[in-house]
Structure 1
Amino acid sequence: MNANEKIQTVLDRSVAEYGVPGIVAEVREGDRTWFGTAGVSDTETGAPRRAGEFFHTGSSGKAFTAATLLGLAAEGRLSLDDAVNRHLPGVLDVNGYDGEAITVRHLLGNTGGLFPTGLAPEVSYRYATRSGMDRHRFDTFTTEELLRVAVSQPPVGAPGERFCYANGGFYLAGAIIEAITGRTYAEEVERLVIGPLGLTHTWVRGVKETGYPEPHPRGYSHQFLKDGADPGAVTPENWQSLMEEPGLPALDVTELNSSLGYAAGNVVSTTGDMIRFLNAIVSGELLPAEQHRQMWTTVSTDGAFWMPHTRYGLGVFEFVPEATGGRELRGIGGSFWGTYFFAVGTPDGRHTIAAHTNTEWKSWDPMFQLIEAEFGVAIGG
């Protein structure tokens, strides 16, 4: 069985065994390209998934934010070791945080001690249940509101102490981009990343956007708490026990305002454009050598509520060599209601796989199985 056949087997299994409505995978290796699908883009019509579909890339948008700030650093507009207070005076000086001790680098590397923003009651009480999602799916968040959410709970550690995945750090990073340039976050991502790479099917979603151009899959979510569960009681340790029981019908969340993502992840793209983006940031094509080195200087994620067998850079990750038999693999990825995406490739930018499901993250297994099928490495095995 060749690599393409192995990937197709994983795609079919993802639908049959993991309850994914539809999944696509695209591969580029030198001059070789391959695209495969399984399942459907629309459960009512049965329309199949297809190439060129637009989708929300989830936290993959963090890499766009990091690349933009690194581009500004290359222009001499800031240093990653600047204290946050230098650019956002006083914003972090609340609830036990210290805007003089937390740096831009801490924000981009999830090492600033900020709490996991998704657990903030201001967020979880709106979206944690099906009824809440239906009431609030078109709510918009301003940057000022998101900055308040970012520091609404006390720190989980000292700056630089450990990795803790926190959207709030990227909210602050987006606000720093706007403070430095006097332009919107979306405009600077376009100027420094999207435009230079020719990503003609990629953009930062507008604050009022709630849908997608054609073609696009419909998005389906099971990411809800049980009826009666208290969102305020959710922790990284107990969240799985509070989730809905399997077997309930998915909720169609295609039409959804995603301003909550902001600079932590609100980019729309295609598998083809995202492969182009990943290849540019892993190979050093996009950034000067010093900024490229900083993007890929990584920290351990051991013990964190995040993907196993990885280290985290600035908006990006790499697998630890012990988990891949020494094979170097770097990537980006993210989940949002009704969508999950990842892209993983070699550091030379010549061999990459990207995949998308029209439901959120359910298990690491399909991702790891696709990587094994394409690269011949069993993650963690």
Structure 2
Amino acid sequence: MTHDIREEVQQILDRAVAEDGIPGIVAEVRNADGTWFGTAGVADLTTGHRRKPGEYLHIGSSGKAFTAATLLALAAEGRLSLEDPVNRWLPGVMDAGGYDGDKITIRHLLNHTSGLFLTGLAPELQQSIVTQPARVWTTSDLLRLAVSQPPVGEPGVDFVYANGGYYLAGAIIEQVTGNSYAAEVERTVIRPLGLTSTYVRPATDTGYPDPHPRAYVANILMDGVDPASLTPENYASLVEHSDLPPIDSTELNTSWGWAAGGVVSTTGDLSRFLKAIATGSLLPPAQHRQMWTMVSSGSVVWLPHARYGLGVIEFDSAATDGLNLRGVSGTLPGSFTLALTTDDGLQSVVVHATIEPRTLDIPIKIIKAVYGVTLG
């Protein structure tokens, strides 16, 4: 690895802490010259302990790729098809919200074209995170949440990022196999790849194994805003970034993530997982192609020029000078993850911050430093 890449990425990390208020941030870069791990800030604002390799990290929506890979593995085993309608496996579950479970397929759930609403901003969920941070969400709770608002489109048409689709996908995994979602992710993904520091976080967990960084939040509701009033349309206008010291959210219960974002991993394990799904070494060719069949996300996916597959993102090659750049990303209160690799798996970067960045500048600058491409 050239000294220039190391130096440039380290400068970006340092500025993220000094100028953007990130408590702690790391980047693991791998290429033909080896592996380099850069860090800035601290893992714990109270103790001042530094961040280090091997930390257990909640990877948020990056976990959707684990769910998609599990379903694709079941498809390869002949136990289901991505064209199966939801009603085949979960009859009647979608009826309560006015959805047609005979028309919505597993594929629609995984690429966010099901017509389900933007579950992450459901008022009930937002209110719960603020006022009941220890609440344990059951599978029944999540399936009910997934259809708690009317459809926003027809199946197979528009991209709308819906965690609810992945709640349904997790329930389908359990219905098809008779095993828990966590057990099937372990069987089909974690064990085959030897991801010894990766697991699906149990619903009742309120901590992480050591070593791990603390998680912090700075985005707060404006004074006088009722969490129950939040909608996808007004959310951005009702939340502000506080200049007060960040709030420690490490013990937040994240059972509402589940199959939409319930995986804990490390930078090393996540790099290995991404290489396997990007190159096709985990799934058979037919399922590998399906995972990387992309749909346009319009302006919804937060990184410019990114399209969405089955739990994964891929950049439009016209914006990357022909480089096929694939990855996963996720955020949740107190954790931000971005993992990218070339489609041959030879050049990768995994970034993790202990607070959600205020802007896109940090990931865009890191992409430019590692891959030499400018997104905009």
Matched letter for residue 173 of structure 2: I
Q: State the shift of 1:326 in Å.
A: 2.2
What corresponds to 2:59 in structure 1?
Answer: 57
1:339, 1:361 within 8 Å by CA — same for their partners in 2? no
Residue 80 (structure 1) aligned with residue 82 (structure 2): yes
Q: Unmatched 5+ residue regions in structure 2?
A: none
Q: State the shift of 1:96 in Å.
A: 2.2
1:301, 1:308 within 8 Å by CA — same for their partners in 2? no
1:222, 1:250 within 8 Å by CA — same for their partners in 2? yes
- What TM-score do you get using the length of structure 1 for normalisation? 0.96
1:302, 1:308 within 8 Å by CA — same for their partners in 2? no
Q: State the shift of 1:124 in Å.
A: 1.3
Task: Select 2:289's aligned residue among 285, 288, 293.
Answer: 293
Mapping for residues 126-275 of structure 1, pairs under 5 Å: 126-127=128-129, 129=130, 132=131, 136-275=132-271
Deviations 1:8-60 (A, max 9, x none): 01101111121110000001113511000000111111111111111100001
SS at match of 1:144: helix
What corresponds to 2:335 in structure 1?
Answer: 339
Q: Whole-Å Cα distance in 1 between the matches of residues 79 and 61 of structure 2?
A: 25
Task: Select 1:365's aligned residue among 361, 364, 371.
Answer: 361
Q: State the shift of 1:245 in Å.
A: 4.4
Q: Unmatched 5+ residue regions in structure 1?
A: none
Q: State the shift of 1:305 in Å.
A: 5.9
Residue 12 (structure 1) aligned with residue 8 (structure 2): no
Distance 1:326 1:305, change over 3 A: closer
1:66, 1:315 within 8 Å by CA — same for their partners in 2? yes
Q: State the shift of 1:325 in Å.
A: 2.2
Distance 1:303 1:26, change over 3 A: closer
1:11, 1:37 within 8 Å by CA — same for their partners in 2? yes
Q: Whole-Å Cα distance in 2 between the matches of residues 340 and 225 of structure 1?
A: 20
Mapping for residues 282-321 of structure 1, pairs under 5 Å: 282-304=278-300, 306-321=302-317
2:220, 2:241 within 8 Å by CA — same for their partners in 1? no
Matched letter for residue 162 of structure 1: D
Q: State the shift of 1:224 in Å.
A: 2.4
Residue 28 (structure 1) aligned with residue 64 (structure 2): no
Q: State the shift of 1:361 in Å.
A: 4.1
Q: State the shift of 1:94 in Å.
A: 2.5
Aligned length: 374
Matched letter for residue 268 of structure 2: G
Distance 1:198 1:31, change over 3 A: farther
1:335, 1:361 within 8 Å by CA — same for their partners in 2? no
Deviations 1:126-156 (A, max 9, x none): 22x4xx2xxx221100001000000000111
Distance 1:307 1:375, change over 3 A: closer
Q: Whole-Å Cα distance in 1 between the matches of residues 10 and 84 of structure 2?
A: 47
Q: Whole-Å Cα distance in 2 between the matches of residues 306 and 370 of structure 1?
A: 15
Q: Whole-Å Cα distance in 2 between the matches of residues 307 and 202 of structure 1?
A: 26
Distance 1:63 1:157, change over 3 A: same
Q: Whole-Å Cα distance in 2 between the matches of residues 306 and 245 of structure 1?
A: 18
Root-mean-square deviation (Å): 1.3
Q: Whole-Å Cα distance in 2 between the matches of residues 56 and 365 of structure 1?
A: 22
Q: Whole-Å Cα distance in 2 between the matches of residues 208 and 93 of structure 1?
A: 29
Q: Whole-Å Cα distance in 1 between the matches of residues 227 and 157 of structure 2?
A: 28
Distance 1:245 1:350, change over 3 A: closer
Runs of 4 or more consecutive aligned structure 1 residues displaced over 4 Å after TM superposition: none
Task: Select 2:108's aligned residue among 96, 100, 106.
Answer: 106
Q: State the shift of 1:268 in Å.
A: 0.6
Q: What fraction of aligned residue pairs are identical, expressed as a percent? A: 59
